């Protein structure tokens, strides 16, 4: 079981993802934009973050940059972009920022879970090895 | 002068201007003339003296001839004395001394003065003895004298055989100093007469040159220079002249006309280039907006798809644990997402149909109040966190309009109000009748639109700065405006950044019986007016979610 922060402005999508992750046994905190996500990380200390890109107030990339800048202790926390921007340029942009994975909507939940578990496993292994 | 064409060559004004050069030429010519005059004067003076000498000599020979024929012994010193004194005293001859030689070359007279020193006696001897021809005159120059040595012959009388006999020779000498003085006096006399005339000639010549060449040339040069530096207002002087300067001036005039033409062409070209680059900039901007639209459109399609797919996946996984209510809610979610997609497809297609000019209004009896109320109700269901407040004044029950298009118009305005006011739930929708027009306004208290972007708000693909982070394609408001205009209506926006926006749509009220008229008016984008049917003036609040 891991702590996952899910940042998504579309309520209908957010609810499903949260449900899906909780069904997989994770503890999930939902935020509806980057700013809320940034406020959440202080107390929640997630093991993994899933974030949309296009959101009001603070976009996903802005959230990612603020997170990496202001929370050095969360530097190793895997970060997944999940966005309806599916252009190659958007994917490259997201990856260039330093995200671990860029998934496009609509997403297959099996794939999402696989990515999440893989990233969490890797993190755990890295932690135990370290 | 314009600095557009910097001078290719810059030169300080030369000291030797053309007029100065011409003046110098005049002075040189006059100087040469003067020298020539001096030389000529000298020559003529000397010729004059020579002529006198020869005349004196001729007189002497005549005298001698008469003396010889009269039996006078001319060789006697007193005779020579007398004869030569007459010759020597001739003031015109200016002789300073004479020497006489007898036929043997012996010196006869006592007038051997300083002039005789240095005289070549061998020549005198040759002349006297007849070795030389009778016409040969020796000229000699001693230290301070000019000497002519001439043979003296007389025609002997018949008594003495009647032939010419050489009786000796004469050396006629002029003092060089006297000679010079004599010539110099003559020159001064000449110069005194001619000098004033010469100065006058110089002045007149220079003045003439100035007026005829120098000044026109200077004026032409100034005009040409001004022209070269881009001042086409310069008048070209001297185009009426018939000489080379006139030709030059006419050529400069042509040059001036060409410069004007070039200036105009250049200005036109610059304007054209500016227009072109403006158009190019606009095109570039439009392309950027268009590619932004493509990205956003893709995003907008994927979002409801993600909702449908996500919900479907959830149903598939939990099908057996779901309550009927839960299932119903999820199915409803799917259906809403489908509606959202349909609306998106509809607006995208409408935009492209509008571009192709294929959109026509389907005018029918339309209850505008009902259309607005339906739209509000639907939007309220989609956005439960917002509070849509509808106020309606009475309108004619039915007006002539395309209900589907108007529905699209108000759905768009209302969904925008919700989308761009995420933090301010209250949205006011007002329906009223003003001056024969139906007025529908949608007012939110959301992000607002920056003032400088208001004029571009209804452009295709344009999205205001304040929309950052909010999904949208930028075609909605453009479509709204065009649909409203197809109905002969207008749309206005009032907005302040951070304070929200109010969109006001005004539509002409036309009764359904005037449908055909409205239809054609609608196509032309003109409005028709009719009195609203008075069916009560009750304002009602349709939604208080």
Contact A111/B at CB under 8 A: no
Helix segments in B98-212, DSSP class H: 121-129, 176-209
How much is the pLDDT for B536?
A: 36
How much is the pLDDT for B524?
A: 43
Contact B302/A at CB under 8 A: yes
Mean pLDDT value of segment A11-38: 93
Q: Are the beta carbons of A51 and A62 closer than 8 angstroms? A: no
Classify residue B536 as left (phi > 0), alpha (psi -120 to 50) or beta. Answer: left
The whole-angstrom distance between B311's CA and the closest CA on chain A is 7
Burial of B154 from C-beta contacts in 10 A (0-12 / 13-18 / 19+): buried
Enumerate residues 6+ apart whose C-beta is below 8 A from B385: B425
Q: Are the beta carbons of B465 and B450 closer than 8 angstroms? A: yes
Q: Are the beta carbons of B272 and B298 closer than 8 angstroms? A: no
Contact A32/B at CB under 8 A: no
Instruction: Give residue for tokens 């392309």.
Output: B287
Contact B384/A at CB under 8 A: no
ipTM given for this complex: 0.92
pLDDT tens digits, residue range A45-84?
Answer: 999 999 999 998 899 999 999 999 999 999 889 999 999 9
Contact B310 A86 (CB under 8 A): no
B302, B311, B318 ranked by CB distance to A105: nearest? B302
How much is the pLDDT for B512?
A: 62
A vs B, Cβ pairs < 8 A, gives: 74
Rounded (to 5) percent helix, strand, coil in chain B: 55, 15, 30
Residue A54: other Cβ atoms inside 10 A: 23
Q: Hey, of B293, B301, B305, B306, which one would you mutate to test binding to chain A, going by the most A CBs within 10 A of its CB? A: B306
Contact A87/B at CB under 8 A: yes
Contact A86 B302 (CB under 8 A): yes
The DSSP element (H or E) to which B264 belongs, if any, is helix B244-318
Which residues of chain B are within 8 Å of residue A52 when distances are taken between CB atoms?
Answer: none
- b vs e for B333-360, b when ≥16 Cβ sit within 10 Å of the residue's Cβ? bbebbeebbebbeebbebbeebeeeebe
The CATH number assigned to the domain with range A3-129 reads 3.40.50.2300
The whole-angstrom distance between B355's CA and the closest CA on chain A is 26
Q: What angle do CA B107, B110, B113 make, to 5 degrees?
A: 95
How much is the pLDDT for B474?
A: 86
Instruction: Please report the domains of chain B, with CATH numbers, ordered by start residue.
Output: 19-178 (3.30.450), 361-541 (3.30.565.10)
Candidates B413, B401, B387; CA nearest to B502 is B413
The whole-angstrom distance between B382's CA and the closest CA on chain A is 11
Contact B288/A at CB under 8 A: no
What does each of the 545 residues of chain B score in pLDDT, given as a tens digit? 444 444 455 556 667 777 778 788 888 888 888 788 778 877 777 677 667 666 766 777 777 777 777 777 766 777 777 776 776 666 655 666 667 777 777 776 645 555 566 777 777 778 777 777 766 677 777 777 777 777 777 776 677 666 777 777 777 777 777 777 777 777 777 777 777 787 888 888 888 888 888 888 888 888 888 888 878 888 888 888 888 888 888 988 888 888 889 889 999 999 999 999 999 999 998 888 888 888 888 898 999 999 999 999 999 998 888 899 999 999 999 998 998 899 889 888 888 888 777 778 888 888 889 999 999 998 998 888 899 999 988 877 788 889 989 998 999 999 999 989 988 899 999 999 888 889 999 999 999 999 999 999 998 888 888 888 888 888 889 999 999 998 999 999 999 998 999 999 999 887 665 544 444 444 444 333 333 333 333 333 333 33
Enumerate residues 6+ apart whose C-beta is below 8 A from B44: none
Contact A22/B at CB under 8 A: no
Contact B299/A at CB under 8 A: yes
SS3 state of residue B153:
strand
CA–CA distances in Å: residue B208 to residues B26, B200, B215, B235, B413:
11, 12, 10, 24, 90
How much is the pLDDT for B526?
A: 38
The more confidently predicted of residues B545 and A11 is A11
B306, B314, B333 ranked by CB distance to A19: nearest? B314
For chain B, how far is it from start to end, CA to CA, in angstroms?
A: 75
The whole-angstrom distance between A128's CA and the closest CA on chain B is 34
Classify residue B71 as left (phi > 0), alpha (psi -120 to 50) or beta. Answer: left
Mean pLDDT value of segment A4-13: 92
Question: Residues 464 to 523 of B: which have CB under 8 A from any A CB?
Answer: 468-471
Q: Is the pLDDT of residue A18 over 90?
A: yes
How much is the pLDDT for B428?
A: 95
How much is the pLDDT for B160?
A: 66
Q: Are the beta carbons of B427 and B387 closer than 8 angstroms? A: yes
Contact B311 A12 (CB under 8 A): yes
Question: What one-character-per-residue DSSP string does B37-72 give?
Answer: HHHHHHHHHHHHHHHHHHHHHHHHHHHHHHHHHTT-
How much is the pLDDT for B66?
A: 79
Contact A57 B299 (CB under 8 A): no
Question: What one-character-per-residue DSSP string does B511-525 give?
Answer: -GGGHHHHHHHHHHT
Contact B305 A106 (CB under 8 A): yes
């Amino acid at each position: 079981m891991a702590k996952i922060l899910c940042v998504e402005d579309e309520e209908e999508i957010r609810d499903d993802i949260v449900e899906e992750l909780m069904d997989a046994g994770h503890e999930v905190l939902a935020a509806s934009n980057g700013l809320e996500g940034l406020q959440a990380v202080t107390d929640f200390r997630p093991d993994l973050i899933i974030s949309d890109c296009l959101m009001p107030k603070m976009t996903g990339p802005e959230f990612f940059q603020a997170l990496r800048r202001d929370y050095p202790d969360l530097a190793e926390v895997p970060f997944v972009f999940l966005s309806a921007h599916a252009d190659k340029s958007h994917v490259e942009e997201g990856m260039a920022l330093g995200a671990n994975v860029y998934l496009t909507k609509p997403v297959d939940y099996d794939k999402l879970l696989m990515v999440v578990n893989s990233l969490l496993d890797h993190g755990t292994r890295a932690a135990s090895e370290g | 002068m314009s600095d557009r064409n910097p001078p290719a060559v810059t030169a300080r004004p030369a000291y030797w201007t053309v007029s100065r050069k011409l003046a110098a030429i005049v002075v040189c010519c006059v100087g040469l003339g003067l020298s020539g005059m001096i030389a000529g004067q000298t020559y003529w003076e000397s010729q004059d003296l020579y002529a006198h000498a020869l005349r004196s000599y001729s007189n002497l020979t005549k005298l001698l001839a008469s003396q010889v024929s009269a039996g006078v012994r001319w060789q006697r010193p007193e005779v020579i004395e007398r004869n030569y004194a007459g010759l020597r005293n001739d003031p015109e001859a200016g002789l300073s001394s004479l020497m006489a030689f007898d036929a043997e070359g012996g010196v006869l007279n006592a007038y051997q003065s300083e002039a005789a020193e240095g005289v070549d006696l061998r020549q005198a001897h040759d002349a006297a003895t007849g070795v030389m021809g009778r016409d040969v005159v020796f000229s000699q120059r001693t230290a301070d004298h000019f000497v002519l040595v001439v043979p003296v012959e007389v025609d002997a009388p018949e008594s003495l055989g009647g032939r010419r006999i050489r009786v000796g020779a004469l050396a006629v000498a002029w003092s060089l100093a006297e000679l010079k003085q004599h010539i110099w006096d003559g020159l001064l006399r000449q110069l005194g007469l001619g000098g004033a005339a010469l100065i006058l000639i110089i002045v007149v010549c220079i003045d003439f040159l100035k007026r005829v060449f120098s000044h026109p040339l200077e004026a032409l040069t100034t005009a040409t220079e001004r022209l070269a530096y881009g001042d086409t207002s310069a008048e070209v002087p001297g185009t009426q002249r018939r000489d080379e300067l006139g030709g030059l001036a006419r050529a400069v005039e042509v040059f001036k006309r060409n410069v004007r033409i070039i200036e105009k062409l250049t200005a036109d070209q610059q304007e054209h280039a500016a227009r072109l680059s403006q158009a190019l900039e606009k095109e570039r901007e439009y392309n950027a907006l268009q590619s932004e639209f493509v990205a956003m459109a893709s995003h907008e399609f994927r979002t409801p798809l993600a909702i449908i797919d996500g919900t479907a996946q959830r149903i598939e996984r939990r099908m057996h644990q779901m309550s009927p209510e839960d299932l119903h809610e999820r199915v409803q979610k799917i259906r809403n997402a489908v509606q959202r997609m349909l609306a998106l497809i509809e607006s995208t297609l409408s935009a492209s149909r509008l571009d192709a000019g294929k959109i026509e209004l389907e005018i029918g009896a339309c209850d505008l109040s009902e259309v607005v109320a339906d739209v509000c109700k639907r939007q309220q269901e989609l956005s439960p966190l917002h509070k849509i407040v509808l106020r309606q004044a009475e309108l004619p029950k039915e007006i002539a309009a395309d209900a589907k298009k108007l529905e699209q118009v108000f759905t768009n305005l209302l969904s925008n109000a919700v989308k761009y006011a995420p933090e301010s739930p209250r949205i006011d929708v007002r329906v009223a009748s003003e001056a024969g027009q139906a007025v529908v306004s949608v007012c939110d208290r959301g992000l607002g639109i920056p003032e400088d972007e208001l004029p571009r708000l209804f452009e295709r693909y344009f999205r205001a700065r304040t929309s950052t982070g909010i999904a949208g394609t930028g075609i909605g408001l453009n479509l709204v405006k065009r649909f409203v205009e197809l109905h002969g209506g207008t749309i206005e926006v009032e907005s302040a950044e951070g304070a929200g926006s109010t969109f006001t749509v005004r539509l002409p009220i036309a009764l359904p019986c005037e449908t055909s008229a409205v239809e054609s008016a609608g196509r032309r984008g003109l409005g028709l007016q009719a009195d609203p049917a008075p069916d009560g003036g009750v304002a009602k609040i349709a939604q208080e979610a």
